[in-house]
Structure formats: structure tokens, C-alpha cells
Amino acid sequence: MARVTSLSRPNAGLSTKVVFTLATVCLLVGLVVGYALLDNRANPTVIPQPVTASARGGTTGNHPALTLDQMKQMADMQASALVEKSKVDPKNASLLIQIAGIYQASHQFKEAATYFERALQLDPKNVAARTQMASCLFYSDDVDGAIALLNQALQYNPNDVNALFNLGMIKYRGKQDASGAIAVWQHLLNTNPNLDRRPIVEQMIAEAKASMKN
């Protein structure tokens, strides 16, 4: 059964103001916010969680606040062993994807994108890694770059669930292209009849259609 997860920006202050109503739905159905991409040729990557008050410099309960700089330091420490391995085995795309996942989970999206890009130079047909990199560009406010990468991913697999879902979401929320988003999501439904989150996609299509009437 095909599965789809959601994409949302972890920073409420970004210029395109991408605040998805889908995020609420995802909490209800137990999905993580981020992009879960599994590929037979790549290890599952760590999924970034939404930036909390602590990540923005506030406090969460009795836990000390973590700034993004502190999160980067933690990511550097966590990734250090893998980085050393990659120096010995520089053509191991899987290692690079694991490193990228660590930085992505710590909201260091530019660093993550750099490692995803290196992995794709070794394994350009890795649709999962290409779609992950697209989400990193999106989180970094490079909407056009994210769309370009998703279109490239779909050249390798035109019916990829995650690439199609994210492409529709970015077109809708990032480019305010409701008609373009509807076309992508409809293709997603047509090519994945057993999609487990079909009601979510249908809800997004309905919302996009309603926005065109306003």
C-alpha cells in the first residue's frame, strides 16, 4: 500500500508563510511533520521535527533552551564518526545520506542539502534522496530550487508518492499555484489507487479548489 507523509516548514517566520492545515491532520493520524522517504537503495533518514519553543530560544518545561547554533553543534558531534567514515569511503552514497539526515533533523538544512547533493552525484537516480534534498531547499526558502529537484525526481519515477505530494504542496503554498497543485495531486491519486492517506490528499484538493473561488 502506498504511503504519503506531510511536508511543512518548521519556521513560522519564513517569507512565504507556509502554514499547512495538513499539519493538524497529520497530528491526528500520527504522522511526523517532515518528509519520510524510504528507498530500497538508501537507508531511512532521520526526519526533522517542527522547531519548538526551545529550538527558537524559548523554554520547554524544565529543559534548558536549545538554540539552532547549539543544535548544529550537537549535529556536528553526532555526525562526526560518519563524516570520518565518508572520508575513508568517499563514494558511499548511503553514508552521505545518513549524515544529511542528521543535519536535517537538527534543522541545519543547508548542510543537509550539501550532503544530499554529494550523494546524488554518486547515485543520481535515488529519488528518495533527491526528494529529501528538495525539502531541505524548501525549508531554506529556495522554493524554485525545491520544485526543480522534485521535477527531476519525477523524471526517474513519475508516480513517486512522496515527490508528487510535496510538489503539489509546494506549488500550492510556496507558489500560490492552486491549479498546478490540483493537477499534481490528482495525478497522485490516479496513479496510486491504494494510497493510504487518500482522504488527506482529497482534502487538500478541495481546499485548493475553494481558494480559487475566493
DSSP character string of 14-25: -TT----THHHH
Query: What does the pLDDT average to over 69-96?
Result: 93
Residues linked to residue 33 through DSSP beta bridges, in sequence order: 6
pLDDT in tens, 119-175: 999 999 999 999 999 999 999 999 999 999 999 999 999 999 999 999 999 999 999
Cell numbers that stand for 74 in this block: 550537537
Number of alpha carbons in the 13 Å side-chain half-sphere of residue 116: 29
Q: What domains does the chain contain, in order, with CATH numbers?
A: 22-213 (1.25.40.10)
Do 208 and 172 contact (CB within 8 A), yes or no?
A: yes
Query: What does the pLDDT average to over 171-180?
Result: 96
Give phi and psi for 84, each to the nearest 5.
Answer: -65, -40
Residue type (1 letter), 28:
L
Cell numbers that stand for 211 in this block: 481558494
Contacts for 50 with CB less than 8 Å, ≥ 6 apart: 8, 10, 23, 33
Instruction: Report H helices in 10-66.
Output: 22-29
In this prediction, residue 214 has a pLDDT band, given cuts at 50, 70 and 90, of confident
